[in-house]
Amino acid sequence: MDNRQIHTFTREKARGILLIFMTLSLCVNLAFAQSPKEAKPSFDCTKATTKIEKMICSDSELARLDRLYSKLYFTTLKAILKDTPQGKETRENLKAFNRQVMEARNSKACYYSSLRNTEYIENKELPICIKDIYLEALVYIAYNMLGEQKLLEFIEKDYPDGNPYYSSGRYDIIANLAYYNLYDRFFDAKHKNIILEFFNFSAERFNWVTTGGMSVDSDYNEVALEHREYYNKLDKAFRVDTKLNKLLGK
């Protein structure tokens, strides 16, 4: 074998090794990437018409939350008996709750996603707004599944010196979900405290706002920053919740 043959053989061998390496890298990347099923929301993106729907389709995180909320909503609805008066009422209340969630999402009704001094909330903060609405919907379902007695037990444990305000606020129509003992089916027990903590804080602040407690922009900004911390905690908890991930097929 002369020098030219040696160089040709070496180049061909190098190309072969490089091709193998690239193929392996592609396989690894595909293994760790989101599957098409995981990246899709609960609706058909080819039929998306509104700005909100298109945004959800173009954002993998929003798509995941949309699908997670949809899975939780329909699976919970299916778990409630149809042939009893209480079951019928609960199902109708849950459907009304879902309409409220969709209306809040479509009208961008998120009060604490952005600081008031953000100049272009529509362009800069809208994805955060939609994300927060889905997180709130998940936590309100979880909260109402727990039931008042269990919540009081947590309150007495976490707040021995007082009983904080914890009205269920805008979504109190699904309070009777507690009768069906569904929490442990859909949420990990270890996340009960963060759910209660978020709910109590949010309800207290909502009460403060609606009674005129916020008088200047700095008050609003402070509340927005506090809420952001709680939303982040919720997001982190729900990402690793094994039972919620099971709903997504993980």
Q: What is the pLDDT of residue 111?
A: 67
3-state secondary structure of 168: coil
Neighbours of 33 (CB within 10 A): 10
Measure the CA–CA gap between 108 and 128, rounded to whole angstroms. 10
Q: What is the pLDDT of residue 199?
A: 81
- What is the value of pTM for the model shown? 0.75
Q: What is the pLDDT of residue 218?
A: 64
Residue 110 DSSP class:
-
- Distances in Å between the Cα of 121 and the Cα atoms of 109, 127, 153 are 12, 10, 40
Measure the CA–CA gap between 106 and 43, rounded to whole angstroms. 15
For the chain (length 250 residues), average pLDDT per consecutive 10? Answer: 46 45 38 47 92 93 96 96 92 94 87 56 69 93 79 54 49 82 94 88 66 60 81 95 93
Q: What is the pLDDT of residue 37?
A: 47
Burial class (CB in 10 A: 0-12, 13-18, 19+), 206: middle
Q: What is the pLDDT of residue 208?
A: 61
Q: Which amino acid is at 187?
A: F
3-state secondary structure of 208: helix
Going by C-alpha positions, the residue among 189, 202, 193 that lies closest to residue 228 is 202
